Amino acid sequence: MTDNAELKTLRHKRGALKAQLTIFYKHLQNLDINNLTETEKENLRMRKVKIEPLYETFNEVQANIELMYTEEDDNMTQENIERESTLHKRWCRLRHVVLLL
């Protein structure tokens, strides 16, 4: 696979992973954390287990994408920092919520 084709595949995979993580985060935002039923709490715990490998895979794919960048792609680096920061904050929020259950 050429570098361009591989980069395109990695970006597509990253987008799909980000979409799955974002869907879950939006679900988390809509919950009233202080008034969860036991079923909702268990659902969150189970979702966390399911989301963990997605988050790890996202980080691996992102690292592979970054390895393919050259110094000429500095603007992409800033986008990556912002993307990773946003996802990291969301991941921390999930872990915090689950720990409170």
CA 24, CA 41: separation in Å to the nearest integer? 14
SS3 content of the chain, % helix, strand, coil (to 5): 90, 0, 10
Tokens representing 74 are: 């500095």
Tokens representing 9 are: 């595949």
In the predicted model, what is the mean pLDDT of residues 64-71? Answer: 77
Q: Quick one: pLDDT at residue 15?
A: 92
CB burial string 60-97: b at 16+ within 10 A, e below: ebbeebeeeeeeeeeeeeeebeeeeeebeebbeebeeb
Q: Quick one: pLDDT at residue 98?
A: 75
pTM (predicted TM-score): 0.77
Q: Above 70 in pLDDT, residue 1? A: no
The sign of the torsion formed by the CA atoms of 95, 59, 28, 89 equals: positive
**Residue given tokens 């909702």 in the structure block:** 40
Q: Above 60 in pLDDT, residue 72? A: no
More confidently predicted of 13 and 55: 13
In the predicted model, what is the mean pLDDT of residues 71-78? Answer: 62
Instruction: Tell me the average pLDDT of the chain.
Output: 83
At residue 96, what are phi and psi to the nearest 5 degrees? -65, -45
